[in-house]
Amino acid sequence: MADDGVIPIRRVVTGHDEQGRSCVVFDGPAPMVRKSAFQLGTNMTDIWVIDEYPADISSQSDATDRPFHFEPPEAGAVIRVVQSTARRPDYDPALDTYIVPAHPLEKTEGGTWERGGQNLYTTRIHRSQTLDFGIMLAGRRTLLLDDGEYELEPGDVVIQIGSWHSWSNPDEDSLMAFVMIGGEFEEEPTV
């Protein structure tokens, strides 16, 4: 773990050299890290971004060399690793400056719909125009849906099809990989 609490994610990117032989183009910690992206202790590391399909597989440039954006490109995708910290035993909600109470639907600048419900250890309830594949790598995390709570452990995979959800880390830190693919709602979300 780095001094700032961020777990570096090694990224090995392959390509071809001038002679057409396969080779490693990048090997080291993924450079696009968004520290405490929405709340303290929730760090997001973008591993790769594609802008459209079919993906450009001829470029050797770093596809994450761009400003951080939560949503993937509209016709593209992003693979991201999310690191979240567990609730501390001394957590006092009265002192939590990250609390965002539940509120009516609101669309963010990036296009994600949200309805609040956030605190230091639980993300806001949100819904994005994406198909998401979430792969639990380490720790435990709770997926919160309108119909209940679902505990995830290493090896579990979640497929979110534009659904309302939030995430919580009540007991353990977690590391989770997400592939977020741009999608389209048939109609604007309602609750």
At 123, list the tokens. Answer: 């993300």
Give the architecture-level CATH label for domain 38-182. Answer: Sandwich (2.60)
Residue 134 is inside which H or E element, if any? strand 130-139
Decide: pTM greater than 0.75.
yes
DSSP, collapsed to helix, strand or coil, labels residue 177 as strand
Give the model's pLDDT for residue 2: 53
CA distance 125 to 113: 9
At 71, list the tokens. Answer: 């949503």
Q: How many residues are there in the chain? A: 191
Rounded to 5 degrees, φ, ψ at 137 are -95, -45
Q: In what order do the strands lie in the sheet with 130-139?
A: 32-34, 43-50, 77-84, 174-182, 130-139, 157-161
Give the model's pLDDT for residue 3: 53
Give the model's pLDDT for residue 56: 87
Residues of the chain with pLDDT under 70: 1-4
Give the model's pLDDT for residue 188: 80
